[in-house]
Structure 1
């Protein structure tokens, strides 16, 4: 049927005035409730929300944005959506933002500085209310300067830049320290480390925890056992193949979660078994670590929680919070599986 013909009236959309009339309050009260003002009594808030639900009232978000100069959109940038860190953290961000009535743009920098710069510029052009960033490299002075010029609050996720930006991160130092000391307690001293470069926080803090643990058991870091030059599976394959082919190869290895597939591939090529010929610990628990047989002992980081915390912190800054930049550290868990064994005397 042609709904444009005379005699058929299209349903009208409920207005804020309708909600106020239904709830028996002023339009201003409805506005304060819908904008989550803190000075509204719970009973009054419930009346307004019930009235809005009964009328199927939906605020005009575009008009709201024009009045408040807010878009209710957050820009989120990650370096690699295939990496569990990126995908789980993004899921945590989405969960919290959705609950708070925000939308978000998600962009993947692929660890490319030029691409990351363009994404940040595009976020600024679109006037997002805030930015949550897992930067490719948090030591690049051009990146730091670009962040300083942005007109909206920026919260760093799993990255740190001095003390001028809010930052939410996992405890990479203590997590890697625990992994290394666990292997050392089993008698291992030639412990290899394959992880991301030190030009981002994860690499720096992982190496710090690794070096501190070795020092505490009286062992120096061997440069030939440390590979921190890349991010990809191919890099991990090559790094693992190189270190595991050495004449005096390591008896244990610690690897980033995103690089675990590459390490397992290199071990398959070299026909090495876990844990008989190599004890293995992964930094960042993944489905692969849990499903591989034997299961791989892991340092589990709650990246979804870091995303939720970063989202809450970003919304707080958008709301005008002027407290000094915060440092939030989310603790780790040690997940014991079957991938490590005690080193026999003389090995």
Structure 2
């Protein structure tokens, strides 16, 4: 296997010049850079990333721990994180916590052992001990989508309160009066925030939210189906079911169809977290969309800023309502 000395010999330059080319140093002349890169390609030389990280104390690698890789929101988030990281010269290692704090700790431990330069986390269930220790010990870290109260870590998130209020106004204009919500886990910030925003908007429009109209889910499809079954078994079922994430909305749709009911004729359906196939369902689903690509890119920029020794401020982006036909529009 060719080494850096072989590349230098073939290109007719010093080892230091090869190193500068490989690290994109601006002082290298264009013709010299071309000769070095030609030699690298001809010899199929691959730099030793481990040795380089020992010299520079950087691996140019970021860790991303997401809550559920099967959730289309987090899949899209991971894609945007990878795209932005690559543009800034970083690679990304992804861990899926599957909404389990123990798995989250496992991935955090593995990533720290691999000497990543920084960590992006969407905390599950209020966090986990190792992740909290890492945050408090100074590991460059940014929370994305979710966050943990009283932990001094920059947060890049979406504020969905205005969009939820717009949704309730939209439903009220359609003359819906019995509105229910399938809430996410109360241990997560997004779970609490979305149900609080829904309750506040209903209060503004003079609409009640009985305890029976609050279903408890876990951001998984099965929980959406169970909560919907409980709603539909009530003596006075809701006219609208608002699922606080896309997977719970899909579970709700499954239960509605299993009962030979129709959306929106028998019960209307809306969701938080728009996904591409919502526009292709019958009927297309009215949903609140997050700027997921911008969210991932902003999180990477904040983390790289921390790694470079710059202060990073939290970033809040706005969600938006996408009106389709699942609420009787």
Name the TM-score, length of structure 2 as normaliser. Answer: 0.86
Q: 1:7 corresponds to which residue?
A: none
- SS of the residue corresponding to residue 270 of structure 2 reads strand
More deviation, 251-260/147-156: 147-156
Q: 2:56 corresponds to which residue?
A: 68
Q: From 273, 279, 284, give the equivalent of 1:290.
A: 279
Distance 2:62 2:292 in 1: 18
Structure 2 unmatched runs, 5+: none
Change (3 A) 1:30 1:211: same
Structure 1 unmatched runs, 5+: 1-9, 343-347
Name the TM-score, length of structure 1 as normaliser. Answer: 0.82
> Does the Cα contact within 8 Å between 2:100 and 2:125 map onto a contact in 1?
no
- SS of the residue corresponding to residue 256 of structure 2 reads helix
RMSD across aligned positions (CA) = 2.8
Q: 1:207 corresponds to which residue?
A: 195
CA drift of 1:36 comes to 6.0
Q: From 101, 118, 137, give the equivalent of 1:113.
A: 101
> Does the Cα contact within 8 Å between 2:102 and 2:128 map onto a contact in 1?
no
Change (3 A) 1:313 1:20: farther
CA drift of 1:269 comes to 2.1
Q: Does 1:280 align with 2:264?
A: no
After TM superposition, the structure 1 = structure 2 runs for residues 280-319 of structure 1, keeping only pairs within 5 Å, are 280-319=269-308
After TM superposition, the structure 1 = structure 2 runs for residues 320-331 of structure 1, keeping only pairs within 5 Å, are 320-321=309-310, 323=311, 325-331=312-318
Q: From 187, 208, 219, give the equivalent of 1:220.
A: 208
Number of positions where the alignment pairs a residue of Structure 1 with one of Structure 2: 322
Change (3 A) 1:309 1:340: same
Q: 1:257 corresponds to which residue?
A: 246
After TM superposition, the structure 1 = structure 2 runs for residues 29-178 of structure 1, keeping only pairs within 5 Å, are 31=20, 35=23, 40=26, 50=34, 52-56=36-40, 59-138=47-126, 140=127, 142=129, 145-161=132-148, 162=150, 164-178=152-166
- SS of the residue corresponding to residue 290 of structure 1 reads helix
CA drift of 1:266 comes to 0.8
CA drift of 1:331 comes to 2.4
Task: Please give the per-residue CA displacement for 1:26-85, whole angstroms capped at 9, x wherever unaligned.
Answer: 957973x75467xx58xx686675555444465443332111111112111112111012
After TM superposition, the structure 1 = structure 2 runs for residues 329-344 of structure 1, keeping only pairs within 5 Å, are 329-341=316-328
Distance 2:34 2:137 in 1: 39
Q: 2:256 corresponds to which residue?
A: 267
CA drift of 1:126 comes to 1.9
CA drift of 1:181 comes to 2.0
- SS of the residue corresponding to residue 192 of structure 1 reads strand
Q: Does 1:186 align with 2:174?
A: yes
Change (3 A) 1:99 1:192: same
> Does the Cα contact within 8 Å between 2:105 and 2:131 map onto a contact in 1?
no
- SS of the residue corresponding to residue 309 of structure 2 reads coil
